[in-house]
Amino acid sequence: MTGIAGLVLAAGSSSRMGTPKQLLPFGRSTLLDHVLAQALHSDLKRVVLVLGFKAKTIARGLKTDLHHPKLRVIENKDCSHGLSSSLIAGLSLVEKESEGVMIILGDMPYITTALINLLLHRFEQSRVSLAALTSGGKRSHPVIIGRPFFPALHDLQGDEGAKALFVQHADLVLLVEPPGEYDDTDIDTRDDYSALRRKLEP
């Protein structure tokens, strides 16, 4: 299998929320279920869900079919070492069979299948090795990292993500502007969640 794999990162401890934000009610399911549904319905070849803190509790609380043929679920037992450990854990599962990975944060309520496919198809049509959606004219998430940069991902440490790659290799980055306004809000605190609920209430 070739193509682009999605890495849904949801291993954090939700320390600022005080409760696992992955399981916050959202629509008819949870915040993480929403993100997974968008990824699984997209044209990504495979989706890897990276859990960590309270992994078993979160897995039990999800409504997504964790045996979906397109989905792999892994527990990052080194999640206390920061974001980089989750990136590396997810990448290690798919790097031999993928031309790139799309990094999708598990707490972005406004991510959609259409946005994932837009970024994916624009990346596949280009000859670059890095791509990202934009929001408000600035680079945002999700991002795609092509095979040439897989070794660099393995070198990440602590809470370091892929941001430095996009800064150091700006000439290799494809920025994809979504149609309309893309709200790239992620949910970190109770105030964030309260604001989300107010926005979505009829």
| CATH number of the domain within which 193 lies | 3.90.550.10
Copy the structure tokens of residue 153: 């991902």
pLDDT tens digit string along 84-103? 899 999 999 999 999 999 99
Residue with token string 């044209």 = 43
Q: Check: CB of residue 12 under 8 Å from CB of residue 53.
A: yes
Dihedral through CA 32, CA 62, CA 40, CA 95, nearest 10? 80
Cα-based distances in Å from 156 to 151, 159, 162, 165, 168: 9, 8, 8, 10, 14
pLDDT for the residue numbered 27: 87
> In this model, does residue 22 exceed pLDDT 50?
yes
What mean pLDDT is predicted for residues 132-137? 93
pLDDT for the residue numbered 83: 87
Which range of residues forms the domain containing residue 73? Answer: 4-200
Counting the structural domains of the chain, the total is 1
